[in-house]
Amino acid sequence: MAETTHGKRVLGVITARGGSKGLPRKNILQLAGKPLIAYTIDAALGASFLDRVVVSTDDEEIAKVARQYGADVPFLRPHDLAGDEASIYRVLIHAVQWLGEHQNWHADYILLLQPTSPLRRAEDIDGSITLALEKDADGVVSLYEARPHPYQTKRLTEDGRILQFISQSKPIERRQELPPAYAVNGAIYLVKRSILLEQETFYTERTLAYLMPPERSLDIDSRWDFYLAELVLNDERGCAPG
């Protein structure tokens, strides 16, 4: 991690609250030999264009684990920003304002990094920042090619009949004829500080897409996702799942 050469400061914020209903304590669950959060910390610290990386958590144990892997945890997030209903924008704003008020440290761009994307790499972080700075974008959000394609999804009637989820005058049957479609993968949310503070959004007319391959786009939300990530990581290391 080093100072950028673009004249802009970029702050990475790794968000990791203690509560999780779908997969309890998921941020520090052991995944292929390391806590889940460690993969995001490693990617962030390995990136060249992040000026600073902090972890925002309300949980002492997560803070301890994050520090063990080299992360900066300068504060504990207030409990009112740690519940299921807490706005991620308010969480990021709290980090921005805390660093400004307590350490006089300010950034031009804020990068949200969620621990639930352990397959994201440092090159993805650098690539998204480079894109934003070169295009003077309001923000960059990571996408991947949607599978299944939205035109291939279905909905069911109350009596179990199958209907197209998206109505089409003539259904497209051949995959080669489908128009490109993309889905958000949760790995990269980069936004100008001014947009975050004034609009509380990642999306404006000047938000650009950073495309990632499906093999780095897994977003962990369940034990099945966790199992798949472990398979991928163990395969990369050439060892059997443990």
The pLDDT tens digits for 127-182 are: 999 999 999 999 999 999 998 888 888 999 999 999 888 887 666 667 777 889 99
Parallel, antiparallel, or unpaired for β 207-211 and 139-145? Answer: parallel
Give yes or no: residues 122 and 43 share one domain. Answer: yes
The pLDDT tens digits for 58-82 are: 999 999 999 999 999 999 999 899 8
Parallel, antiparallel, or unpaired for β 182-192 and 139-145? Answer: antiparallel
Give yes or no: residues 71 and 135 share one domain. Answer: yes
Q: In this predicted structure, what is the pLDDT of residue 72?
A: 97
Give which of 190, 232, 192 is closest to 210, Cα–Cα.
190
Q: Is 93 exposed, middle or buried (0-12, 13-18, 19+ CB in 10 A)?
A: middle
Q: Is 87 part of any domain? A: yes
Q: In this predicted structure, what is the pLDDT of residue 32?
A: 94
Give yes or no: residues 133 and 151 share one domain. Answer: no
Asked if residue 194 has pLDDT above 60, the reply is yes
Give yes or no: residues 135 and 161 share one domain. Answer: no
Q: Is 197 part of any domain? A: yes
Asked if residue 230 has pLDDT above 90, the reply is yes
Q: In this predicted structure, what is the pLDDT of residue 147?
A: 87
Q: In this predicted structure, what is the pLDDT of residue 239?
A: 58
Give yes or no: residues 25 and 88 share one domain. Answer: yes
DSSP code string of 144-201: EE-SS-GGG-EEE-TT--EEESS--SS----GGGSPP-EEEEEEEEEEEHHHHHHH--
Give which of 237, 206, 226, 163 is closest to 28, Cα–Cα.
226
**CATH of residue 47:** 3.90.550.10
Q: Is 5 part of any domain? A: no
Give yes or no: residues 19 and 139 share one domain. Answer: yes
CB 43 within 8 A of CB 125: yes
Number of H helices and E strands in the chain, helices first, is 6, 10
Q: Is 207 part of any domain? A: yes
Residue at token pair 């990571």: 142
Identify any residues that bridge with 15 across adjacent strands, giving them in sequence order: 56
Cis peptide before 148 (omega within 30 of 0): yes
Average pLDDT over residues 191-217: 97
Q: In this predicted structure, what is the pLDDT of residue 65?
A: 97
The pLDDT tens digits for 39-57 are: 999 999 999 999 999 999 9
Q: How confident is the model at residue 23 (pLDDT cuts 50, 70, 90)?
A: confident
Q: How confident is the model at residue 204 (pLDDT cuts 50, 70, 90)?
A: very high
Please state, rounded to an integer, the average pLDDT across all residues of the chain.
Answer: 91
Range of the domain at 158: 147-180
Give yes or no: residues 168 and 227 share one domain. Answer: no
Q: In this predicted structure, what is the pLDDT of residue 241?
A: 47
Give which of 138, 114, 132 is closest to 217, Cα–Cα.
114
Q: Return d(Cα 61, Cα 115) in angstroms, integer.
A: 15
Q: Is 101 exposed, middle or buried (0-12, 13-18, 19+ CB in 10 A)?
A: exposed
The number of folded domains in the chain is: 2
Average pLDDT over residues 6-24: 87
Q: Return d(Cα 13, Cα 99) in angstroms, integer.
A: 11
Give yes or no: residues 61 and 159 share one domain. Answer: no
Give yes or no: residues 161 and 75 share one domain. Answer: no
Amino acid at 38: A
Positive/negative CA dihedral, 82, 83, 87, 88: positive
Asked if residue 200 has pLDDT above 50, the reply is yes
Q: In this predicted structure, what is the pLDDT of residue 151?
A: 84
